[in-house]
Every structure is written in structure tokens, then in C-alpha cells.
Structure 1
Amino acid sequence: MSSITLAASRPTLADRLFARSLTTDLVLIGAGAALTGVLAQVVVPLHPVPITGQTLAVILVGSTLGARRGALSMVLYLALGVAGLPWFSDASSGRGVLAGPTGGYIVGFIAAAALTGWLAQRTWDRRVLGAFVSMSAGTLVTFAVGLPWLAASLGLTLEQTLASGLYPFLMGGAIKALLAAGILPLAWKLSSRTTNKQV
């Protein structure tokens, strides 16, 4: 098996579960993009930005795969969606989505996955509090990119931007961060038990 890998030297949950190789990395990157596409279809309609399961996928993918592979997974998600794969929210696709009011959030997913992955490589995802802070930081990065994009695309004032692109999502973002903060430490514990039994 090839020793070439896209994984960082600091291990993440994916490295605990799978042997490192370029082939494994590519499969994981594709799986992360696919998970994001699937959870993008979990939609609560709001205008101009719907509530979706995407951000949950993004923070889970970043934390599980690490900064480099997590970011590449989101680049793949963006690229295939722009190319026509209908896996943006509400089964949409194309350049128009990226140029529209939600495009900044999709671009922000790349930075969010990179940040949560970087923190996971420093073991922030192994305890509930650290994982919650990491997931919250990833969510905030998505907003940091998405909100100016939303304002520019629709010509909104600051107040209008926050009212339509931030405030409706704060509770959902906190719930997603809490959910991810529960899932990842539990996954680490379960993987440790499995590894100990095999040894």
C-alpha cells in the first residue's frame, strides 16, 4: 500500500479508524462532500437563506478528516455543485447558486472545515467543551464569509444582513455545534475501546 497521504502528521478520528493512504484520503474526501450534499437536502425554507444540515456536515467532516482533507472535501462539494451536481440546498446546482446570496456560505464551508480540522489535529474534538468551542468557531467562520457575500449580492444594509443571514441561524448553529460536540468525543471513546480490544 502506498505511504503517500494527504493526512497531516497529527492524527484525526479518520486516521484512528482507517489506514493512511492516498486512496483512503480520496475516498474520505469524496465521502465528506457526499455527506454535505445529503445534509444540504435537510432544509427549513427561509428567504433568502434557508436553514440546512450543511453546516453540521461541514464541522463533522472537518473535525473527522483534519484541516487539509476537510477543506479539500468542501472544495470538491463546491466544484461538483457548480458543475451541475444537484446537491446544494433544495437540490440546486450551478454557478448561479455560488453567485447568489448563499454562495458565500458555501465558500465559507472550506475555511470552516479547515479550522475545525486544524483544531481537531490539536485534540480539541476529544472532549465535549473543546469540541463545542471548535464547532462554534467553524460555524462563525461560515458566517464571517457568508454575511458580507449576502449583503453584497442583495444590496442589504448591516441590519438587514444580520436579520436575514445571522439571527435566524444562531439557535440552529448552537444546536448543531452541541450535537457535533457530543458525537465526536463519543466516537473517540468508542474507537479507543475497539482498538484496545483488538490489541
Structure 2
Amino acid sequence: MERSVTLVAVFAALTAVLGLIPPVTLGFGVPVTAQSLGVMLCGTVLGARRGALAMLLFLLLVALGLPLLSGGRGGLGVFVAPSAGFLIGFPVAAFVTGWIVERWRAAPLGLVAGIASVVGGIAALYAFGIAGLMLALGRSLPEAALLALAFLPGDLAKAGLAGALTAGLARARPGSLLSRPDVHAA
């Protein structure tokens, strides 16, 4: 129990640290950040429930005003900005990513973690992000989806990196993945 609580806090902090990498803000007000890599890693390393809890903790701290988002943003105002849908999707994305890693054991861990990051950390996250763009910017579904496509190349690279980092962690520290406590080799 204590280890789980500690790791949830550590991965919320990791997501905050990834926010220190300077963002690239797109013309429609949504920044491209490294923080979605943190969301993916929460799922691949911590698993579904703990990954979602880490992201809920992160969002609680942001809502309380801590400047943890890329660019030093925080407070309740970020939850009505064009990027709000993506933020709200963080816990769901981590959960979906972790759920896939926990259950799909027929393929190598790195591949599973990479694919899970695409399904959870991109597809599930984009569902929330696109809905947020539609509401905040008054765009249609096709228009908002087209805007979200600007993030796809970077997010695909982050998904590949999440798969590689997860497999590397499993090799370096067998048994350290809460998403797969029984893994002893990647």
C-alpha cells in the first residue's frame, strides 16, 4: 500500500517535471507538451487504477493553483481553456493505457506498452481533447479533429518512447512494474 501511494505521487511529480520542457503553443491556443508522455508512463508502469490516481492527483494539484502545467500554468482557469479536454482526459488515458498493459500478455512488453500508449495516451486522450476543442472554440467535430491532428506526430513518438522506457525499466528492475508485477524480463 505504501509503495503504491509513493509511486502515485512520484508519477504525478514526473508529469509535472515533464511540464518544465518548454511548450510549443499552436495557433489555436493548445500547447504541445511532453506531459502526455507522463500520462502514458503512468499507465504502462503503474497500471490502470494507480495510473489514473496519479493523474487525478496531478489535476487536483493543478486545480489548487500549483503551476505544474507546461508554461507554468495552474488554477481553475486551465479547465475552461482550449486544452481543458485534454487535461480532463489524463486520468482516463492513463487508465486505458494501464488496462491494456495489464491484460495483453501475448506480445513483448515494449510492443504492448507502445500500442497501449497509442490507444490510451492518444486515441482516448484525443476523444476528450477534441470534445474540449469543440466546446472551447465553437468548432465542429471535423474541424476540432483536424486541429488535434497537429499533435499526432509528436504523440506517436512519445508512445514509442513510452514503450521503450517501460521495457527498459522491466529489464533494469525486474518486478518494478505495478502494471505487471510478475514480469521478470521484457
Same fold (TM over 0.5): yes
**Mapping of residues 1-199 of structure 1, within 5 Å:** 22-42=1-21, 43-47=23-27, 48-123=29-104, 126-138=108-120, 139-164=122-147, 166-192=148-174
- Larger deviation: 71-80 or 116-125? 116-125
Contact 1:59 / 1:113 at 8 angstroms: preserved in 2?
yes
TM-score by length of 1: 0.80
**Structure 2: where are the runs of 5+ without partners?**
177-182
Taking a change above 3 Å as real, the CA distance of residues 193 and 93 of structure 1, as seen in their structure-2 partners, is closer
Contact 2:130 / 2:141 at 8 angstroms: preserved in 1?
no
Residues 20-44 of structure 1: CA distance to partner in whole angstroms, max 9, x if unpaired?
xx22221111111111111123212
Identity %: 36
Contact 1:151 / 1:158 at 8 angstroms: preserved in 2?
yes
Larger Rg belongs to = 1
Contact 1:62 / 1:117 at 8 angstroms: preserved in 2?
yes
Residue type at the aligned position of 2:24:
V
Residues 139-192 of structure 1: CA distance to partner in whole angstroms, max 9, x if unpaired?
21100111111111111123431232x121110011001111111112212223
**Structure 1: where are the runs of 5+ without partners?**
1-21
- Secondary structure at the aligned position of 2:103 is classed as coil
- Secondary structure at the aligned position of 2:20 is classed as coil
Contact 2:47 / 2:97 at 8 angstroms: preserved in 1?
yes
Cα root mean square deviation, aligned: 2.1
